[in-house]
A and B are shown apart, each in its own frame.
Chain A
Amino acid sequence: MEIGTIIAGILTLAIYSFLYRDNPVYKAAESWLIGLSIGYALVVFWQSTIIDILIVPLFSEWRIILIIPLVLGLMMFSRFSSKTSWLSRIPIALMIGTGAGVAIPAMLYARTLKQMSASIMPLISENGTPNIEALVVLIGLLSTLAYFYFSREHKGVIGNAAKLGTYFLMIFFGATFGYTVMSRMSTFIGRVDFLLTDFLHLIK
């Protein structure tokens, strides 16, 4: 059996020891995991961004304008001393401003306008019967919006609408809970498959 599978198997069991109790073996494995994941990310960021779209274009293709992001990037390191740390605000401001600028149209179009127009359906279908689904979506959407309406107390019409909205929210959270249990079980099944087939060779 390959040395890699043995190591992976031992580390898997070390992590599962947490189920018995938080213990030094688990703590050691997890510290090793934290270190590896940061080291791995460092390599991938360095290669994919610093080298590919900064160092190579700047120093071999002479795209001089890239000096600006280089300087702004280096200013991030000013955070390490309290005297100069305010300098890091400029690159942070550039990122946050840019992110906010692209977010507004995306949020208004894709997350609001498109979702609004997708909710519009005729309440009565062609053959004259009421369109139940359209009604359920309309009531669910408006009552949940009422729940997230903060300018008036939840009394009277708004109060009842908000209560109905709570029930729709519970249906959503219930479905999400069911699917989340499904997800967690699939992850565990994947590890059982590794332990039984690759590591212990109990089954094919």
Chain B
Amino acid sequence: MRTKIPLLVCLVFGIMMFGQYFSAHPIAKAVYNNILEWWQIIFAFTLLVGVASFARNSLRNISQRKEPIHRSIALAGLLVMPVLALIGGTKTGSPFLWSFQNMLAPMQSTVFSLLAFFVASASYRGFRARTIPATILLVTALIVLIGRIPLAELISQSFPKITFWVQDYPSMAARRAILIGIGLGSMTTALRVILGIERTYLRGE
């Protein structure tokens, strides 16, 4: 019963949503609209559960003295935003938006900008033309790195055109094959999930 019902729900909703793609009938459309709305609502609850389990793990770690300071800072951050939203709402000028713009966004983009440094250090140490494939990769990378800055036009007017040619034909052809591969992979996985053959999503409770 614990496995039969979920598999049946998955089958029923999978077939309905697959079938409605091919129909223009108003009933099919209305069924489709309802399910889209349910999907949105349940998905939001999934994220609420995620937030609740983060809070629970943080509290448990604090009580077990595992990195208590950092966990309580994180918990404080988790509580600050909803409290600010309750007090001042979320419109322009609200403390909620203020703390997003002056704390969350700057830190998030700074963490991401760290990668510029790691790319530079890896470029010096890690990226060796050890094999033919690695050499092709590095040469293409240089064609793009040079071609997409004004330096290219100083070398020759047609340099950017070379970069675009490499990007629009050989690189695009390989990417298209990857896309087709992923497309087929997603399709077979979706079929196995709907037919109840692939059940990994039931694990990990």
Residues of A within 8 A of B (CB): 4-5, 7-8, 11-12, 15-16, 18-19, 27-47, 49-50, 53-54, 65-66, 68-70, 72-74, 76-77, 79-80, 82, 85-86, 88-105, 107-108, 111-112, 115-116, 118-119, 133, 136-141, 144-145, 147-148, 165-182, 184-185, 187-188, 190-191, 194
Interface residues of B toward A: which range?
Answer: 35 or more
Asked if residues B6 and A32 are in contact (CB atoms below 8 Å), the reply is no
**Main SS of chain B's interface residues?**
helix
Question: Measured between alpha carbons, how far is A12 from B144 in the docked complex, in Å?
Answer: 30
Knowing A15-B110, A32-B107, A97-B11, say if A174 contacts B139 (CB, 8 Å): yes
Residues of A within 8 A of B142 (CB): 178
25 sample A-B contacts, Cβ–Cβ < 8 Å, listed by A number: A4-B101, A15-B110, A15-B114, A28-B73, A31-B77, A32-B77, A35-B77, A36-B80, A39-B81, A41-B47, A42-B78, A76-B48, A94-B39, A103-B190, A105-B22, A140-B169, A140-B177, A168-B170, A168-B173, A168-B174, A171-B171, A172-B175, A179-B144, A185-B116, A185-B119
Residues of A within 8 A of B49 (CB): 76-77, 79-80, 88
Asked if residues B39 and A178 are in contact (CB atoms below 8 Å), the reply is no
Among candidates A47, A94, A140, A169, residue contacting B38 with C-beta atoms closer than 8 Å: A94
Question: Measured between alpha carbons, how far is A31 from B74 in the docked complex, in Å?
Answer: 5
Q: Which residue of B lies closest to A50 (CB)?
A: B44
Asked if residues A36 and B104 are in contact (CB atoms below 8 Å), the reply is yes
Q: Provide the B38-64 mask, 1 if CB < 8 A to any CB of A, else 0.
A: 111111111111011110100000000
**Main SS of chain A's interface residues?**
helix
Asked if residues B109 and A174 are in contact (CB atoms below 8 Å), the reply is no
Among candidates A29, A77, A172, residue contacting B107 with C-beta atoms closer than 8 Å: A29
